[in-house]
A and B are shown apart, each in its own frame.
Chain A
Amino acid sequence: MSSDRSDSSPYVIVIGLEVHVQLKTVSKLFCGCSTQFGAEPNTQTCPVCLGLPGSLPVMNRRAFELALRTAVALNCRIPEFTKWDRKNYFYPDLPKGYQISQYDLPMSHSGWLEIADPKGEFPARRIRILRAHLEEDAGKSLHDEAAGKADSRIDLNRTGTPLLEIVSEPDLRSPREARAYLNELKLLLEYLEVSDCNMQEGSLRVDANINLHIPGSAGPTATPIVEVKNMNSFRAVERALAYEAERQFAVWRETGRTIADVPKSTRGWDDQRQATFAQRQKEESSDYRYFPDPDLVPVTVSSAVVEAARAALGELPAATRQRLESTYRLSAYDADVIVNQGRRFIAYFEQVAGRCGDGKLACNWVTQEVLRILNSDGGTIDRFPIGADGLGELIQGVRGGQVPSSRSKELFGVMFSEGLTVTEALRKLGIQSLAADELEQLCRQLLAENPRIVADVKSGKAQAAGALVGLAKKKNANVNPADVRETCARLIAEMP
C-alpha cells in the first residue's frame, strides 16, 4: 500500500492533526451548568451559556488546571500570560455570535509527544505540538439547512463545555503514524484523568490536515491541503487518511494541480462508503475578527504553578513502559501492550507480578488470558472477577508445582466464571497435588503394568516414555506430567 512510508512510495504523506478534547469538569467553562452527556436537549443551560443579554462569563478554574496538566504532560511551554479571545461568526448553535477561544497567546505551545511502534514499523519519533489552547464548545445542530425544507433543531446542552484543542505540527508521515499518535495522546489523556476520550460522545474529536510531497527532478511538489472531518474512530482516521493520500495522488496525476493552485478545502469521511467527499465550501473565506474578550481577565500562570503541575503528573506512559521493561524484564512489545491498557491495568499487572514473583509469567497471563476476556467481553479490569492477588496466587502455585500447569487454564476458567479463589477452584475441580511417595507408588505400578514401554525406553527409544504420561493421568488426573516423566525415567534407570 502506498499509504505507508517506504522507499518504493512515489510520495511523502504530510499529516497534521487537530484534536479537540472535552475536559472532565463538573461544570462548563464559563458558567455553572453541568457537562453531563446525554441529558434531555436544552436542560443544561443558563443565561450565561445561552448568551442571554446581560450575562457574563466567569472562568472555571478547574478547566484551566486540567488544561495546564495536559499541556505540561505534552512538554509544552506555558507562557506566564494568556488571554481569551472572541472568534466571531454567526451560527444558530453559537448563541452569542462568537466563541470564546484563544488566538495569538494560547495557554501553551511548542511541545511534543513521542510515538513509537513496538513492532518497529516506524522509528520512535517526537511529534511536535504547535499549541494547545482552551475554548468553549458550541451547541449541536440537527438540521437540513442545505435542503431548505426541514426545520433545524438546536441542543445547547453542550454549549460552553470546556475543550482543549491540541494542534500538532505536520510531522506525521503515514496514516499508521497518525493512528499511533492518537492512541498515544488518548492514553496520555486517560492517564492524566483529564478527559473521558469518548469519541462516540464527542469528548474527543479529530480533524486531519493532509497533503502529499511528490519528489520530482525540479524538487518536490506539494498537493493542495485537505482538512478531513467527520471521522468517528481512530480506525476511521487511519482509513480516511490512507484513502485521501491515494485520492490526492490520483488527482495530482490527472490534473497536476498543486498547493499553489488550489486553496485548502474540507472533505468529510463517509464511513459507509469508505471514502472522503467534498464538503460545501463557504461562500467567502471566513474572517473570524478575533479580538481579546473584554468580559474576561487575562490569566497569569506563575512558574511555581507550572512546576507544581509538573510535579503532580506522576509517571507517564513512556516512562512506565521503560520501567516495566527493566523491572520485569519484559519485551518492548509486552510493556507496550500492558501500558496501552491504562493505569489500572498496569497496577493489576504489577500486583500479579509481585504476588507470583515472575514478571514474564505474569505478563503472559495478563496479556493473553486476561486481555483476551476483556477484549471479547468489552469489560474493564476494575470489574474483572479474578483479582490480582488471586491470579498471582494461581501463577505462583504453577511455579511452585502445587498447581498442575496442565490444568492451570482450566482453573483460571473456573475462577473467572464462578468467581472462586485458587483453593476453591482446586477443590471444585478435585485437583490435589500428589505427595512424592504417592507419585512413586503410581509410577512403579505403571512400569510394572507396561513392560514393553520399559523395554522400548531401555533400548533407547526415549520418546516411548510419553505414553506413560497419558496412562498416569488416567490413574490420577492430578499428576504433573513433568513429574511423571522424571520419576519414571529415574525408576527405569534404577532397574537392573
Chain B
Amino acid sequence: MAGIAQLDAIQLRQMLRSGQISSLELIDALLEQYAAWEPRVGAFLNFRPDQARDQARELDRRRAAGADPGLLAGLPVSIKDILCTVDYPTTCGSRILRDYRSPFDATVVARIRRAGGIVFGKTNLDEFAMGSSTENSALAVTRNPWNVAHVPGGSSGGAAASVSAGICPLAIGTDTGGSIRQPAAFCGISGLKPTYGRVSRFGLVAFASSLDQAGPMARSVQELALLLQTIAGHDPRDATSAPNDVPNYSASVDEPLPGLRIGVVRDHFDAGLDPEVDAAVRDAIRVFQSLGAKVHEIELPNSRRAIATYYVIAPCEASSNLARYDGVHYGHRSSDRSRDDESPHESTRESTRESPLARLYCRSRAAGLGNEVKRRIMLGTYALSSGYYEAYYLQAMRVRRLIRDELLAAFQTVDLIVGPTTPAPAYRLGDKSNDPLSMYLEDLYTVSANLAGMPALSIPCGLSRGGLPIGLQMQAAPFAEELLLRAGAMYQGATDWHPRRPAA
C-alpha cells in the first residue's frame, strides 16, 4: 500500500485500530523506507526486519482475536542503543559492549512492548551518549537525512535520523545535556526531554545518572504525546523515578493555551548565534504572539555557567558509571595474562609495577573505550580526586542548585522559555571532531534543563538557505510536559515546518 510510510503515528494508530491496515503491512511499508534510506543515512546499529515482521504478525493475530491493541496498537518504535533490550544487543555505540546482550528490557522498552509497540531496531549514538554529532560512535557513521554530508547531531543521532528519513514514525532517544533536542533540531523533527524522574531510567545504561532522561522523538508533538504517555510513570526499580500521576497528554495536546506568557532570554541571542537561526527563532516567537502569547524578556545570569557546570558534573558521574566496563565480567577483554607475560616489548618497569590484573584493566579499557569517553573519564576522575573535589564537583553542584533556583523563579512569571535549540544548523561531518570544546558548546542552550531536571522540547521552526532544519527550544517548569506539548501543538497548528521531509 503506497503512502503508508508518509502518514504520522496518530493516523497510523487509528488505521491500525480500525483494521484499515495491519501492523505487518505497516512494517513492510517502512522496510521499503529502510531499504531506500538506511544505506545513505546509517541510522541503525542493529536492525532485524524478520524480527519486526514476526512481532507485527503476532500483534495482528492478537488483535484479530479481539485483544486490546494497546496504546501503540502495533506501531514501530526505534530504540537508541543505550536502552537495554532482550532481543537485540545493547552496544552503547562502544567497542567495549559491541557484543553485549542484556538479560532484561529497559522499563521504557518493556512499556512500549506492553502497549503493543514493536521494537524497530537499535539506533546509533555517540559512544555512551557522549557527544553531539554521533561521530563518537565506535561502531557506525550516521548522516543527516537532509544532507548526508552533515551530521545528524547527537548523541541520539540515529534516533533522529530514523524518524527524519521516514524509516520509523516514533523513536526513543535519551538526553543528558541536549541529546534528544539537538539531533531533533538538526534533523527537523520534534523531541522532548521529560522532567528528570518522569520516565524510568531502569535499563538506560548510565552516562550521568543525575542528568540522563529518556524521551520521545517524532515529527509532531501529538506523536510525542502518544509516546510519552506510553513510557512515563513511576517505576519501583528506579529510586529516582517520580511518583507523580501521569496526565493524559494525548487527550489535552490539541487544547490551545490562552494567555501564554513566554520568556525570552537575551543571552540566547548573543553574537554566537547563527543569523539564520536567530531569524527563524524570532519568527517563531512572533507566531506565538499572533496566537495571543505575551513575550517577557528575562535574565538568567547563572545559566551562563551551565556549560562549565555540566562539564564537571557529567564527567564525574560518568567516570564512576563507566568503571564497571573493566573486561572482567562481560564486554571486551583485551588480552589474557599469559600473553602479557610473554610480551617482549613490555618494559621491565611496567611489568614489575603493574599486576596482571591492572594490566587486564588498562588494556581492556584502552582498547574498548573511545577517545571522547576516555577524555570524560579522565576529567571526572580528576575532578573527584581528593584535593579537587571541593573546587570542582562540590562547586559545580552549588552552581547547579543556583541554576535550578533561577529557572524555578523564572517560571513564576512565565509559562515557557523559548529560544534556539542550537547555535547553528547541522555542521559537516568532521568539522568539529577534532575540537572537543566547540563540540561542547553545541550544548549551550540545552544543558540548563538537564542541570535543573526540567522538561524541554525542540520543534522544527525553519530551514536554512542550505536546506538544513532549525530547531526551536521550549522549556517549562518541572512536570509541565503537558503545557510544553500543548504550546508545541499550537505552534505546529499554525506552521508547516514539522511535516516537511528531506528529499528522497
Q: Which residues of A contact B (CB under 8 A)?
A: 47, 50-59, 86, 88, 90, 92, 95-98, 145-146, 148, 152, 154, 283, 287, 289-291, 294-297
Cβ contact of A55, chosen from B202, B317, B355, cutoff 8 A: B202
Q: Are A289 and B97 in contact (CB under 8 A)?
A: no
Determine if B357 is an interface residue (Cβ-Cβ < 8 Å).
yes
Chain A residue at minimum C-beta to C-beta distance from B387: A287
A8 to B472, CA, bound (A): 83
Evaluate whether A97 and B324 lie within 8 angstroms (CB atoms) in the complex, with A53-B97, A283-B353, A297-B239 already known: yes
Closest Cβ of chain A to B98, distance in Å, is 13
Q: Mark B187-231, 1 if CB is under 8 A from A, else 0.
A: 000000000000001111110111000000000000000000000
A264 to B317, CA, bound (A): 30
Q: Are B103 and A47 in contact (CB under 8 A)?
A: yes
Which residues of chain B in 314-339 are interfacial with respect to chain A, using CB atoms and an 8 Å cutoff? 316-317, 319-320, 322-324, 326, 328-330, 337
Q: Are A53 and B355 in contact (CB under 8 A)?
A: no
Q: Are A54 and B386 in contact (CB under 8 A)?
A: no
Chain A interface SS verdict (over half): loop
Which residues of chain B in 348-388 are interfacial with respect to chain A, using CB atoms and an 8 Å cutoff? 353, 355-357, 361, 381, 384-386
Q: Mark B93-119, 1 if CB is under 8 A from A, else 0.
A: 000010010111010000000000000
- Most B CB contacts (10 A, CB to CB) among A92, A146, A294, A295 go to A294
Chain A residue at minimum C-beta to C-beta distance from B394: A291
Cβ contact of B239, chosen from A59, A146, A148, A290, cutoff 8 A: A59
Q: Are A96 and B324 in contact (CB under 8 A)?
A: yes
Q: Are B323 and A88 in contact (CB under 8 A)?
A: yes
Q: Which residues of B contact A (CB under 8 A)?
A: 83-84, 90, 92, 97, 100, 102-104, 106, 201-206, 208-210, 236-240, 316-317, 319-320, 322-324, 326, 328-330, 337, 341, 353, 355-357, 361, 381, 384-386, 389, 393
Q: Are B357 and A52 in contact (CB under 8 A)?
A: no
Q: Are A145 and B357 in contact (CB under 8 A)?
A: yes
Q: Are B239 and A97 in contact (CB under 8 A)?
A: no
Closest Cβ of chain A to B102, distance in Å, is 6
Q: Are B102 and A96 in contact (CB under 8 A)?
A: no
Closest Cβ of chain B to A322, distance in Å, is 44
A residues near B84, Cβ cutoff 8 Å: 53-54
Evaluate whether A52 and B356 lie within 8 angstroms (CB atoms) in the complex, with A97-B324, A291-B320 already known: no
A289 to B317, CA, bound (A): 11
Chain B residue at minimum C-beta to C-beta distance from A48: B237
B residues near A51, Cβ cutoff 8 Å: 324, 329
Q: Are B389 and A291 in contact (CB under 8 A)?
A: yes
Evaluate whether A291 and B384 lie within 8 angstroms (CB atoms) in the complex, with A98-B323, A148-B341, A297-B239 already known: yes
Q: Are A96 and B97 in contact (CB under 8 A)?
A: no
**Could you count the A-B residue pairs with CB atoms below 8 Å apart for me: how many are there?**
108
Chain B interface SS verdict (over half): loop
Closest Cβ of chain B to A97, distance in Å, is 3
A residues near B385, Cβ cutoff 8 Å: 287, 289
A residues near B237, Cβ cutoff 8 Å: 56, 58
A residues near B240, Cβ cutoff 8 Å: 56, 294-297
Q: Are A58 and B393 in contact (CB under 8 A)?
A: no
Q: Are B324 and A287 in contact (CB under 8 A)?
A: no
Q: Are A58 and B236 in contact (CB under 8 A)?
A: yes
**Interface pairs (14), CB distance under 8 Å:** A53-B92, A54-B102, A56-B202, A56-B238, A58-B239, A59-B239, A90-B323, A97-B323, A98-B320, A148-B337, A148-B341, A289-B385, A289-B386, A291-B384
A55 to B83, CA, bound (A): 11
Q: Are A53 and B205 in contact (CB under 8 A)?
A: yes
A97 to B322, CA, bound (A): 8
Q: Are A295 and B355 in contact (CB under 8 A)?
A: no
Cβ contact of B102, chosen from A52, A148, A152, cutoff 8 A: A52
B residues near A289, Cβ cutoff 8 Å: 319-320, 381, 384-386, 389
A92 to B361, CA, bound (A): 10
A50 to B201, CA, bound (A): 17
Closest Cβ of chain B to A221, distance in Å, is 29
Evaluate whether A96 and B323 lie within 8 angstroms (CB atoms) in the complex, with A148-B341, A289-B381 already known: yes
Evaluate whether A47 and B104 lie within 8 angstroms (CB atoms) in the complex, with A53-B97, A56-B239 already known: yes
A53 to B210, CA, bound (A): 16
Chain A residue at minimum C-beta to C-beta distance from B354: A283
A residues near B103, Cβ cutoff 8 Å: 47, 52
Closest Cβ of chain A to B139, distance in Å, is 16
Chain A residue at minimum C-beta to C-beta distance from B317: A294
B residues near A56, Cβ cutoff 8 Å: 201-202, 237-240
Evaluate whether A295 and B90 lie within 8 angstroms (CB atoms) in the complex, with A58-B237, A145-B357 already known: no
A150 to B83, CA, bound (A): 37
A101 to B205, CA, bound (A): 21
B residues near A294, Cβ cutoff 8 Å: 208-210, 240, 317
Chain B residue at minimum C-beta to C-beta distance from A84: B239
Q: Are B355 and A54 in contact (CB under 8 A)?
A: no
A295 to B205, CA, bound (A): 12
Q: Are A97 and B320 in contact (CB under 8 A)?
A: yes
Closest Cβ of chain A to B395, distance in Å, is 13
Q: Are B317 and A53 in contact (CB under 8 A)?
A: no
B residues near A58, Cβ cutoff 8 Å: 236-239
A residues near B329, Cβ cutoff 8 Å: 50-51, 92, 95
Q: Are B202 and A295 in contact (CB under 8 A)?
A: no
A residues near B97, Cβ cutoff 8 Å: 53
- Most B CB contacts (10 A, CB to CB) among A54, A86, A290 go to A54
Evaluate whether A145 and B384 lie within 8 angstroms (CB atoms) in the complex, with A54-B84, A294-B317 already known: no
- Most A CB contacts (10 A, CB to CB) among B323, B337, B389 go to B323
Evaluate whether A88 and B320 lie within 8 angstroms (CB atoms) in the complex, with A56-B239, A291-B393 already known: yes
Q: Are B324 and A53 in contact (CB under 8 A)?
A: yes
A50 to B393, CA, bound (A): 28
- Most B CB contacts (10 A, CB to CB) among A55, A154, A290, A296 go to A55
A residues near B236, Cβ cutoff 8 Å: 58
A residues near B356, Cβ cutoff 8 Å: 145, 148
- Most B CB contacts (10 A, CB to CB) among A50, A86, A90 go to A90
Q: Are B324 and A145 in contact (CB under 8 A)?
A: no
A residues near B90, Cβ cutoff 8 Å: 53-54
Please provide the 7 A-B residue pairs with the shortest distance between their CB atoms, ordered closest to farther. Answer: A97-B323, A294-B210, A294-B209, A289-B384, A54-B203, A53-B205, A54-B84
Closest Cβ of chain A to B313, distance in Å, is 9
Q: Are B100 and A296 in contact (CB under 8 A)?
A: no
A152 to B356, CA, bound (A): 11
B residues near A97, Cβ cutoff 8 Å: 320, 322-324, 326
A294 to B319, CA, bound (A): 13
Q: Are B328 and A92 in contact (CB under 8 A)?
A: yes
- Most B CB contacts (10 A, CB to CB) among A50, A98, A152, A295 go to A295
- Most B CB contacts (10 A, CB to CB) among A57, A95, A148, A289 go to A289
Q: Are B320 and A54 in contact (CB under 8 A)?
A: no
Chain B residue at minimum C-beta to C-beta distance from A58: B239
A88 to B384, CA, bound (A): 10
- Given A59-B239, A98-B320, list of 13 further CB < 8 A pairs? A47-B102, A47-B104, A53-B97, A53-B324, A56-B237, A57-B239, A88-B320, A97-B320, A145-B357, A289-B384, A290-B389, A291-B384, A294-B208
A472 to B324, CA, bound (A): 85
Chain A residue at minimum C-beta to C-beta distance from B382: A289
B residues near A86, Cβ cutoff 8 Å: 320
Chain A residue at minimum C-beta to C-beta distance from B380: A289
Chain B residue at minimum C-beta to C-beta distance from A146: B355
Q: Are B316 and A95 in contact (CB under 8 A)?
A: no
B residues near A88, Cβ cutoff 8 Å: 319-320, 323, 384
Evaluate whether A295 and B239 lie within 8 angstroms (CB atoms) in the complex, with A51-B324, A53-B84, A289-B381 already known: yes
Closest Cβ of chain A to B287, distance in Å, is 38
Closest Cβ of chain B to A10, distance in Å, is 37
A59 to B240, CA, bound (A): 11
Evaluate whether A287 and B320 lie within 8 angstroms (CB atoms) in the complex, with A92-B357, A145-B357 already known: no
Closest Cβ of chain A to B46, distance in Å, is 16
Q: Are A295 and B357 in contact (CB under 8 A)?
A: no
A216 to B225, CA, bound (A): 79
